[in-house]
């Protein structure tokens, strides 16, 4: 069964109440937290973003509401694996933050979920939140059949 790594931009949609927030919310409601991951980079980036926009008081509640650490997983890229990040920057032309997400997904065998089209030119690609939810739903139907 597929597990998914949600890129930082998915959470920015929620925090900033951006146009794609409903799509991300549906994914979070439709896929069990045990099948969802974010990177430690994302975890900290959300705090930076919330602080920048005067929302840091809600950071802990936001993380608790998602179930971070108690179902919703956090994927780390170990120091010994950071060469994958720099390699993804140079070979795939990704920014460092995207390369980090890509490397974490690759190392952990996770499907990358992002609204960032930069991942479309990579070997692993990406799914939008809506496409990831559809894939999960289809897998569930196949399991039942």
pLDDT digits (tens, 9 = 90+) for 55-113: 999 999 999 988 887 889 999 999 999 999 999 999 999 999 999 999 999 999 999 99
Global pTM value: 0.94
List Cα–Cα distances, 42 to 66, 104, 131, 135, in angstroms. 13, 11, 21, 23
List Cα–Cα distances, 143 to 1, 12, 137, in angstroms. 9, 33, 10
Question: Which CATH superfamily hosts domain 4-137?
Answer: 5'-nuclease (3.40.50.1010)
Q: Name the nearest CA neighbour of 133 among 117, 101, 103, 111.
A: 111
Q: Return the minimum-mean-pLDDT range out of 13-22, 99-108, 122-131.
A: 13-22
Greatest Cα pair distance, the chain, in angstroms, is 49
pLDDT over 80 at 137, yes or no: yes
């Amino acid at each position: 069964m597929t597990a998914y790594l949600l890129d930082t931009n998915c959470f920015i949609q929620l925090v900033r109440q951006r146009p794609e927030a409903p799509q991300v919310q549906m994914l979070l409601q439709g896929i069990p937290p045990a099948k969802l991951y974010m990177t430690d980079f994302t975890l900290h980036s959300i705090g930076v973003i919330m602080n920048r926009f005067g929302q840091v008081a809600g950071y802990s509640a936001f993380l608790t509401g998602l179930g971070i650490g108690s179902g919703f997983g956090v994927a780390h890229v170990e120091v010994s694996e950071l060469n994958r990040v720099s390699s993804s920057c140079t070979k795939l032309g990704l920014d460092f933050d995207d390369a980090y997400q890509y490397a974490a997904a690759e190392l952990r065998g996770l499907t990358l979920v992002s609204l960032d089209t930069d991942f479309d030119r990579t070997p692993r690609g990406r799914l939008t939140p809506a496409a990831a939810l559809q894939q999960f739903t289809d897998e569930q139907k196949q399991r039942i059949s």
